[in-house]
């Protein structure tokens, strides 16, 4: 079945460590996105990629990094520079950026990161 897979579902990190969250899709979508969700807040865009080997900063990119070496994969690294990394992270994809604008986003099940 086609879909988006995020891993791990739960992750614990010590302060000062970098961690990488995986996002893989087999939907043949060009565009991929990373959102952060905090309780009582909407989703905030961290990074997005419209095509392979290209990505752009979203609203809260500081302390995060991404790569898009393959169409199917868009991993997110939470670096030690991110001051408050404990959150629920959601990866999404759309056929292309215009489909993303039309709200046709397909979401993964999310990864919950906790900093100890």
Contacts with other proteins, residue ranges (CB under 8 A): 4, 31, 33, 35, 40-45, 48, 50, 56, 58, 90, 92, 94, 96-105, 107-110
| Distance in Å, CB of 90 to other proteins, minimum | 6
| Distance in Å, CB of 43 to other proteins, minimum | 4
- Output 41 or 84, the one with its CB closest to other proteins: 41
| Distance in Å, CB of 73 to other proteins, minimum | 17
Nearest to 52, CA basis, from 74, 78, 23? 74
Give the Cα-Cα-Cα angle 42, 38, 28 (nearest 5 degrees).
Answer: 70
- Output 36 or 85, the one with its CB closest to other proteins: 36
| Distance in Å, CB of 17 to other proteins, minimum | 24
- Output 75 or 80, the one with its CB closest to other proteins: 75
Phi/psi region, residue 8 (left: phi>0; alpha: psi -120 to 50; beta: rest), is: beta
Nearest to 13, CA basis, from 59, 62, 79? 79
- The runs of H, that is alpha helices, within the chain are 97-101
């Amino acid at each position: 079945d086609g879909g988006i897979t995020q891993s791990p579902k739960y992750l614990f990190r010590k302060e000062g460590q970098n961690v990488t969250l995986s996002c893989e899709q087999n939907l043949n979508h060009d565009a991929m996105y990373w959102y952060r969700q905090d309780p009582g807040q909407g989703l905030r865009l961290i990074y997005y990629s419209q095509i392979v080997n290209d990505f752009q900063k979203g609203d809260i990119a500081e302390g995060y990094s991404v790569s898009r070496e393959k169409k199917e994969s868009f991993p997110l690294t939470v670096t030690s520079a991110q001051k408050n990394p404990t959150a629920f992270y959601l990866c999404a994809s759309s056929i292309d950026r215009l489909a993303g604008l039309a709200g046709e986003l397909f979401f993964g099940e999310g990864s919950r990161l906790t900093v100890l």
